[in-house]
Chain A
Amino acid sequence: MKRSLDTRAKARALVVFLVAAVAVTWLLTAQQAAAATESADVGTVIATDITSQPMLTDATPITVGAVASEVDTPEQTAVSSSQSRVLQNVFNGFVFGLLLALASVGLSLIYGTTGLSNFAHGEQVSLGAMLAYFFTTDQPVSIPLTPWEFVIGWPLWLAALAAIAVAGGTGWVQDRFLWGKLRKRGVGMVQQMIVSIGLSLALLNFLQWWIGPDRLRLSKAIEVKHQFGPIQVGDITMMSIGIASIALVSVALFLQKTRLGRATRAVSDNPSLAAASGIQVNSIIRLVWIMAVSLAALGGILLALYDNGTKFDVGAKLLLLMFAAVTLGGLGQAYGALLGSLVIGVVVETSTLWLGPDLKYATALGILIIVLLVRPQGLLGRVERVG
């Protein structure tokens, strides 16, 4: 039964992806046509803009460049290079999706076991990255509201482990003192969701207050690039892929093979039935929280290495991609979140070929809305009434 579900899901994923690709190309051609007619007068407007508004000069050359390249790129030479660019982007998207999956699998597990759409999950990703920075940087750091400054400067692997451990600790603390209490009081799901929004706002500002608003780098090492056919990969990225894959496979093994994992799936399926059959629902949920938050932290650290920099609001930006991935895969389905993340990652990265990098997240949100229109239960979700 499981296998047939998987093949059907793959087929659906393919269909969704094809539809998205067709839509994007259609958009692109429409836009190019519009751009071609406009480009002449846009050029003059930009020229006058530059003279009249010196403030805008950092923005305008990009459009000038885009217009120029559109005009004088010959079709024939573009084909082979664009093909490898597409491959490179698909590969980048795959990597990004894998790292995104680390975060969204946790989000999905939390949703599955507790029913909570955790809006603070993005901040858990940032928290991981910030903690890793805190432990590894050679700049002086301090703890808020204390006047002492000190340097920790651990090697990156140790800092990452410490960050994941501390982040996992925050997961335990959260469930012990916040979510567990709320569940006990019988606070409604919608209320809990708004609590998580408050937590997200608080955490986001806490991180800004603590670490500051600058863009930070975890590692000063310069990445060595390797060429595999048309695809270029750095060695840090390869290591990230390895670590992320190991983490995801071990989560899958945990869910499928171990007693605890089976209990987790049982709670996810039907909490009352699980409780009746002797499963300690609350300790399972606590375990899920710790796991989800640690995975998110790992995702944050690997993303910081992959992007070669991080910021206090990196997770806040990813949150919506995570929601898109989780919804696409089916709310509460751990494997759905993985599949959804890969699709979202590839779409987000390939869309930069046509739409420009500042719109890349918008495509994922577009997918989210389309999925809810066409198949609200997601790719792997069971057909049930969701309203």
Chain B
Amino acid sequence: MGDLLIDVAREAFTPTTAAFALAAVGLNFHFGLTGLLNMGQAGFMLLGMYGYAITVREGGPIWLAIIVALVVAMVFGVILGWPTLKLRGDYLAIVTIAAAEMVRYLGRSQNFNSLTGASTGIRGNEFKGSFEALSPFPDRMVDVGPFALHGTRSTSWWLVVVGWALVAIFTLIFWRLSKSPWGRVLKGIREDEDAVRSLGKNVYSYKMQALVIGGAVGAVSGVIWALGASVQPDSMGRPTTFWVWTLLLLGGAATIFGPVLGSILFWCSLVLIKGLAAMWIPDTVLSQQQLQPFSLLLVGVTLMLLVIFRPQGVLGDKRELAFND
């Protein structure tokens, strides 16, 4: 039981949690602020990781790799938004989910084996070196309280610090932008597009800006994820997008800290559920390999219940509902 609690507490700050919080901040630009139904956040994340990992692998410096990751995701956003932002909301949903899958199919295709490593992806040691070289922490396991992580390598204290610093920065940016005149226009679009249009604002352009900025944040989250694990196209399928949605709605869309809280709650409860189920449900009823689908089944049910009964999430404001069509 004590071990389980430590595991749960560790899950609250791992780089994965930070990466998902970042992805949800990006989605918050899309959905929370503007009401765009981006169902392809995993595609932005995957493009971000490819951009970063391939640039570093080919010998580029880190700053260039980050710029490449951002630019690739932004271009992707423009391409997606161009045909769909003038259409009804669910068209954007269908196209983004399709485009994200297309990125994954292209990434895992044999045709681009030399570039993306096909379905094996890009292994961590091909692109993590230059980031890990910057680490100020020692190159060994470091214990902080009950938590033991490596100082530098992969899922390390260094990545934890960088990841959460980025989460803090982007949350701050989100807060400032959402309070700015620009953010108020976006909220206006979310509430009533036609009203904003009648005020002379270019709704299409504002939506495009939101889509591109949120996608760029998604790309950064992809980079964090990749630095903690590796570039694996199949880990960025549709379920990933749906998890990001679940945790954003759990924390509360259109709120400042919703994505962060949602991500922490989501991952901690996932670990907790798995741990408790392993402890109390006998193996004959629910075997070890059935635990994963069982807990993800609960994620799906949670998403449904959240949307039906508490669409504003934990932190949200009922009046600031982002759902309208």
Contacts and interface: CB of A to CB of B under 8 A. Distances in A.
Nearest to A377: B87
Given A188-B323, A188-B325, A386-B87, A201 B300 contact: yes
A194 interface: yes
A117 interface: yes
A172 interface: no
Which of B98, B113, B323, B324 is packed against the most chain A CB atoms within 10 Å?
Answer: B98
A205 B323 contact: no
Contacts of A182: 308
Interface residues of B, number: 57
B197 to A, nearest CB: 11
A63 B93 contact: no
Chain A CB within 10 A, most for which of B111, B297, B303: B297
Contacts of A189: 90, 325
B301 interface: yes
B261 to A, nearest CB: 19
A59 B301 contact: no
Contact of A209 (B101, B293, B302): B293
A226 B271 CA distance: 54
Given A117-B90, A362-B102, A386-B88, A42 B114 contact: yes
Taking chain A's interface residues, is the majority helix, strand, or loop, or is none over half, making it mixed? Answer: helix
Contacts of A190: 37, 89-90, 323-325
Interface in B44-92: 82-84, 86-91
Which of the four size classes fits the interface of chain A?
Answer: 35 or more
A386 B95 CA distance: 15
B293 A208 contact: yes
Contacts of B286: 145
B279 interface: no
B110 A63 contact: yes
30 contacts: A42-B114, A56-B120, A59-B118, A59-B119, A63-B113, A117-B93, A188-B324, A190-B323, A191-B311, A193-B37, A197-B39, A197-B242, A198-B301, A198-B303, A201-B239, A201-B296, A201-B297, A201-B299, A201-B300, A202-B304, A205-B300, A323-B94, A323-B98, A327-B94, A358-B105, A359-B111, A362-B105, A362-B106, A366-B102, A368-B94
Given A194-B303, A362-B105, 10 more contacts: A145-B285, A182-B308, A187-B308, A190-B325, A198-B300, A201-B239, A205-B296, A208-B293, A324-B98, A358-B119
Closest 6 CB pairs of A and B: A202-B300, A198-B303, A201-B300, A198-B304, A209-B293, A205-B293
